[in-house]
Structures are given as structure tokens and as C-alpha cells.
Chains A and B, each alone.
Chain A
Amino acid sequence: MDSHPALVVNDLTKVYGKDKAVAVNKVSFTVDRGELFGLIGPDGAGKTSIFRMLTTLLLPDGGSASVDGHDIVKDYRLIRNTAGYMPGKFSLYTDLTVEENLNFFATVFNTTIEENYHLIKDIYIQLERFKDRRAGKLSGGMKQKLALCCALIHKPTVLFLDEPTTGVDPVSRKEFWEMLKRLKDQNITILVSTPYMDEATLCDRIALIQQGSLLSIDTPENIVKSYPDTLYAIRASKISSLLKVLSTNEAVASAYAFGEYVHVTFKHEGPHEKDILAFLHEQGLEDIEIKPTEPTIEDCFIKLLKK
């Protein structure tokens, strides 16, 4: 059993409705044991459909997949025993307390909170003072922590986390990823999806997904390395005018806002600093700064989307 990768996905396809909208289009990837693998893409890219097929809640219309060597169609019962799933939408019992929810999920899987407490301890301590509160009365961050505990309490071999950090503030997001790293150290395989590009760098490997198709699969470092152009970061006193002015320049291939800078690529190899500086001055912009910069995963995604 240890020779199998944790997840093998082959040409997995999902089609919805009478007009046959393709939600997942021949998606293939593998995830190794103990790997933290990220599916990175916006809403509507097909992430949730993939999760629901891998957790045996939805039948594929094409292709195949296995979890721990078990086929997602034939062996669905085996997968349901060993997989942990945290759906994107909060789906614990809102009328049960924190402790009752956890107890319920432990019991359903024929185990006890005590038996696997070590797995959830770090997370559960933060919830313990609310253990008698109804789940529906918890704040967003606390709900998320409880859902993770409930997905872990039967000691799954593979953990499926569908957008666990959507709508969560940056500080809580950071804490959540620290929790995931500790789980990974316990040799749990994790498939996680997120629309936040900055979280991609925290995964071992990632797949970028858009409109049902994978655009790229690799380590975050390699994806960034394969960015084909020299990327420049340009700043000026007013970003909105800077963007407008840059879009009129013949030499510019792309220009988009990126925090306090505008990220720019050119149609031809540089250097471009002098020309652009002169051009921007001429257009009446002030406080200009221009420098080459390292692309991020978000730059790579934008590049792939525009292809």
C-alpha cells in the first residue's frame, strides 16, 4: 500500500446540466504521501467539483482517480473511512456545541476524541474555552478551526481542504497555514484549494487551475522560475494615471497594478529604464521609481490567463 501515491488523478472530467457545461476538463495530477498540494484558482475554476469527486460525493463523467490506491467509484466506502474533508461551506451542526460536534464526528468514525487528541491538540486548545457554545454562534475563524478538528478526528490519511481560508483575514490565514505545516509533519497528505495566490508558495507543489483546466503543475519555485519575461515594477505618485499612461506606450506588452507598484513587461528585451523614465516624465508623472522585480505566483497566473 505504501507504494501508491496518495492521490492519482487521470483525465478526470465533470459535465453539468443539459447544455453540458464542462466544469472539470481532463484534469490529471498525482500527490505523493505526506505532500501538501495546492489547487490554486478563482471561484468557478472547478476546484470544488474536483474535491467532491475525490471525496466520493460526486461521480465523474470521465477519467478516473484513486485515493490511497482506492478507486473513487468502486471503493468509495473505503475512501470515506480514511479521507478527511472540510468543505468550503461551513457544514457542521450549528445547533450542537463545539464539543458535541467533535464527539459526533469521532463516534461516526468509530473512534473517540481521546484516541486522536494529539492530532487536533494545537488547534483545539484555542477552541476549548468555547466548548459549550453552539457551533452556529462561533465567529468565522473559530468555525474554521472546529471544522478542521472535525475533519481530523478520525486520523485521516488524506485531508481534503476546500478553500479553508476564503474570506479569512491575513493574520488568521497565516495561523491556519502554520497549522497545516504541523499536520504535514505528522505525515498526513493534504490537498488544499485557495483563491489566494500568496498562499501558493506555502505548498510543496501546486496546480494552477482556470475554467476546469490545469494551466501548470510544479513546485512554486519552478513555476516562478519559468516566467518567460523580465518583469519591472514601476511606481509613481498616482497609480491610476500611471496605468493609463503605460497602456499607451508602444513598447509595453502588459501593465497591471500590483500593490503600490505597476508590474510591466515589454515586447523586446531591455534595458528599458531610461526610455520609460523619460516617457513618464514627459507625460507629467512624478516621483517615479522603476526597477526589475521577481515575479510572484500571481504574475505567473496572470501571464497564463492571458495566453
Chain B
Amino acid sequence: MSETVIHAENLTKRFGDFVAANALTLEVYKGEIFGFLGANGAGKTTAMRMFCGLSIPTSGKATIAGYDVYRQTELIKKNIGYMSQKFSLYEDLTVLENIRFFGGIYGLSNAQLKSKSDELITQLGLQHEAKKLVSGLPLGWKQKLSFSVAVLHQPKIVFLDEPTGGVDPVTRRQFWDLIYDAADKGVTIFVTTHYMDEAEYCNRISIMVDGKIEALDSPGNLKKHFQVDSMHEVFYQLARGAKRGE
């Protein structure tokens, strides 16, 4: 297999007596679409925060894009993209201003900013909206724009936290087209979702239950292993045994 971009070994995070993430071990490869599933409260957010360099693990090892999660968190942040489920572009800036602002923060030069923002606006078909405030865009557009901004600085990995929650079925599929495009260009996609049909679109997925990774494989292999027809049933079989109150 190709280059490893996320490598975690027994990665653990405790809050007092509570083990939020328990000995997580996984590898994610360059250009892969990796689905990170689990019930509410299973520990997904805690794990994501460690991978993004926002939370220092209690024990275990991990490197993200080659950087250590204990000592090189600033380098991790520079080399990843992140899109939260809550819309987090600036509503009071225009589309173009948002792109320039975030591009600037990630250290793009003025020349790069100019060419990148033109390219992105054309790609998204937002020529008419470029100088309008983001607050007026429909949710589906906002999500597509957020994603594009998150990959503007060509990160090795982009973390997407429930990017399609509440989005209509047509826009949800257009969003996945963007994901496929980015993956084809070699960006690794690390995505959480509660839509089980989207789990099928991933190359491999892991399912967390009560702080542990209980399953990790391709959707096809997981279905074979659990002898069921859909990812929904795989998820249900694993997560229904969860002891933690969601």
C-alpha cells in the first residue's frame, strides 16, 4: 500500500477515571477516504482532536502527516485541513474575503491567493456570489465552500466532522463529488458521518464503541464478516451493545 499519513498506536485519552479514547490503533493511507464512525459519545471527537493536534494524548503514539501528536502540534495544524459540522466561515465576509482570509492564515502568498481563489470560485460555480456575503448562501453551498477552503492550502489530510448533516440529498451527493476529486488528487479524507449510505462511499471505515475501535475494514469486508447486507446493520450490531449513555 502507499504512504501512511496517519499512524496511531494505542493512542489513549483519559479525563480523570474516564477513558474517552482507549488504545486506538490505525493506519490511514495517502489518497484514501477513511470513514470514522461511532455512536454519539463513543469517543470520535476526542480522537479527532488528538489527530488534529488540539488535544495531547494521555498515552500511546501517533504521527499525523509525519508529525508527532505530542511535540509537533503546530506543524500538524499547518499540514491538515479541518471542517467542523458547525459552519465556521465568517458570515459577515464575502465568499472571496473568506477564501483570502483563510488562505492568508495558512501562509499562501498574494499571488497564490489570487490564482487559488479564482480557480476555486470557478470550480464551485460561484462567480456571481464571489462578492456577496456568505450569510446569504444556502446551506449546501456553504458546506461546499467550507470544504474548498479547508483544502485550499493543499493539506495532506483533511478532517471532516459530519460535513453533510441536514444537507438535502442532491447537494449531499455533490459534496461527495468534491470529496472524490480531492482524494483523486492525493488528499487523504478522514470523515465522520451518521449517514450509513455515505459509509459505503469510503475506502475503509472504522467503528468506535465505548472508546475503542471495534471494527476496521472496507465496507464490503465488514458486511461479509458480519454476514449482513448493509452498513446500517453492521453499525447496529456493533453499536447496540454500547454501554456508555450516548
Contacts and interface: CB of A to CB of B under 8 A. Distances in A.
Is B one of A's binding partners?
yes
Contacts of B106: none
A306 B38 CA distance: 33
A292 interface: no
A170 B170 contact: no
Nearest to B162: A167
Given A141-B246, A169-B40, A171-B236, A301 B169 contact: yes
Given A42-B167, A44-B139, A305-B169, A260 B162 contact: no
B235 A170 contact: yes
B39 A169 contact: yes
B4 interface: no
A44 B239 contact: no
B165 A166 contact: yes
B245 A170 contact: no
Interface string A36-78: 0000011111000000000000000000000000000000000
A154 B42 CA distance: 33
Interface in B86-114: none
Given A142-B245, A305-B169, A259 B39 contact: no
B235 A44 contact: no
B196 A171 contact: no
B214 interface: no
B219 interface: yes
B46 interface: no
Interface in A138-171: 139-142, 163, 166-171
Contacts of A168: 40, 194, 246
Contacts of B201: 239, 257
B166 A43 contact: yes
B231 A259 contact: yes
A240 B244 CA distance: 37
Interface string B169-205: 1110100100010001000000000111100110000
Given A42-B171, A43-B139, A140 B232 contact: no
Nearest to B41: A139
B88 to A, nearest CB: 15
Interface residues of B, number: 40
A260 B139 CA distance: 26
Nearest to B241: A171
A302 interface: yes
A259 B245 contact: no
A305 B169 CA distance: 9
Contacts of B170: 256, 302, 305-306
B3 interface: no
A142 B246 contact: yes
A161 to B, nearest CB: 15
Interface in B44-78: none
A258 interface: yes
Contacts of B173: 256-257
B231 to A, nearest CB: 7
A141 B235 contact: no
A140 B245 CA distance: 9
B153 to A, nearest CB: 24
Given A42-B169, A301-B169, A302-B169, 9 more contacts: A43-B166, A170-B239, A171-B240, A239-B201, A240-B184, A256-B170, A258-B197, A259-B231, A301-B168
14 contacts: A42-B140, A42-B171, A130-B245, A139-B245, A141-B40, A167-B40, A167-B194, A169-B194, A170-B194, A196-B195, A256-B173, A257-B176, A259-B197, A305-B169
Interface of A: 41-45, 126, 130, 139-142, 163, 166-174, 195-197, 210, 239-240, 256-260, 298, 301-302, 305-306
Closest 10 A-B residue pairs measured CB to CB?
A141-B246, A42-B168, A43-B166, A259-B197, A169-B39, A259-B200, A260-B200, A171-B239, A195-B166, A240-B180
